[in-house]
Structure 1
């Protein structure tokens, strides 16, 4: 045990004596950071892929005419906005091809061109659902409607025009 202690002391002393004095770092040590700082360097240009404008549209209807196809495109974000494509008319969109894989109208796939972008548009079941309309209710009171009561009192007969008195409960002594 004493031998190991002596050897470790000799090695420690040898390493201390062989080590030189610390030196001050040069000013050019961090010169790369002066030029390429995170705060002053412009980021690399990011290439942004052009968005396909057809991704925002779903097929609302398609019909074959003599000189081409009549199509309705629905905007998925704003379903009330519609684009109608007539054959032979200049429009932002143009129908290139229509395929019915199974013969059903729901499976129709329409190839559409918008400028230099070409893509396919299909029916979207979420946009095709018919929203129920609200039935208008008459604004005047109906004769079959029950009369309103005040504080739980019984309704009065239709012949009297007086309003019922509120019910008062007298506490027991």
Structure 2
């Protein structure tokens, strides 16, 4: 069986979630990337801690380059849009008749492509508020992503960073 790689939206969403948890918590970034990479690698061949760490760090570095009232609201909006819309702005269907948007894909998404997508989103969001996550949006309310939610709900400890 051919290797299957993380869909771009899963990669972006996961790195956004890692960045959010890192900033709002008190656990090292490496702990999140190690834990989530080990769990995601069961389904995706390219789920490495190094890849998740580099993308998450670059997201955080990029956000540090501009003023915002709430950088984490930007990350939350990015996560909402990754999960609910395709890159072309269409509503994402997680479960379809013949598969799932969570299924691995044949093409690997590069670090650069993932960061480019994040930066593009931030510029779109700053130009038009329609991309903001709805007030009160919560990841746990989303349907069809139970497998990912189980990963994100997994307890992350400082020791996971080693």
TM range (shorter): under 0.3
Larger Rg: 1 or 2?
1
Instruction: Give the strand-richer structure, 1 or 2.
Output: 1
The TM-score with structure 2 as length reference comes to 0.23
